[in-house]
Amino acid sequence: MATQVYKTLSKIVGALLLILGVAALIGGNFAHGYVSEQLADQAITMPTNESLDAQVQAGRLTDDDASALRPYSGQEMTTGPQAEAFANHYIHAHMAAAAKAANVPDDQANYSAIGSLVTKYTNDLKAELKALPENAGATDAQIAAKAAAEIANPDTSYENAKQAATLQALRMDTFLDGNTLRGMLLNAYGWWLVGTIAQIAGWVLLVGGVALFALGFVLKDKSTQAGVGSAAAGA
């Protein structure tokens, strides 16, 4: 009787695992397909080996960055691993190179810290302007307006204004846009990874389900085995 219960439970659990495994595979395949469609719509082509070599030579990429990108050379971006490599080893590397070119320290090469540097140079410019005799009676609002005008003036003679303008452009045009695109690509990679995990889990569940379901048919009832043994002994 106990063996019959085990056989029934084995079949039931095995069937449930098979259903869950199929569902996991469907979910994983859907995640991969959806991410691929979304990435394909962006029409991003991975850099070629020639382009990578040139950018390494120019100092915009490191050898490690180029090595991470080479397996996808010239391919259309349609997978999570491609998106992750492009986000972390192309976009991020170019952001770091742009910050280095602007003499931004490595520990301040981020959107927030660069904003603090812009504020610093802007405040220094305000102090410089306020110290001028012609601005002796100017209010803080007037000084702020003059500082903003100098920062916006490409021909300004004030070094603080030049630094503030350069860093503000770096912050908005490079780091803001770069971080936005990186976030989108890494989000795609995250969902691709979820899909991959679902696929692996699906295959594991299918194998376990088949094994349990089959076990429900091959288990032999102990009472039957005992009866066969007694009959053989009596003969």
DSSP3 helix / strand / coil % (the chain, rounded to 5)? 85, 0, 15
Task: State the average pLDDT over residues 151-180.
Answer: 94
Residue 59 pLDDT grade (very low, low, confident, very high; cuts 50, 70, 90) = confident
User: Where do the structural domains in the chain lie, given as residue ranges?
Assistant: 2-226
User: Do the Cβ atoms of 30 and 202 come closer than 8 Å?
Assistant: no
Q: Residue 233: what pLDDT?
A: 47
User: In the prediction, which pLDDT does 218 show?
Assistant: 74
Is 201 exposed, middle or buried, given 0-12, 13-18 or 19+ CB atoms closer than 10 A?
A: middle
Q: What is the pLDDT of residue 121?
A: 94
Is residue 104 within 8 A of residue 174, CB to CB? The reply is: no
Question: What pTM does this model have?
Answer: 0.77
User: At residue 44, does pLDDT exceed 90?
Assistant: yes
Q: State the average pLDDT over residues 95-121.
A: 92
Mean pLDDT of 104-131: 93
Average pLDDT on 78-94 reads 95
Q: What percent of the chain has pLDDT over 90?
A: 74
- Separation between Cα atoms, residue 188 and residue 180, nearest integer Å: 13
What are the tokens at 201? Answer: 């889990």
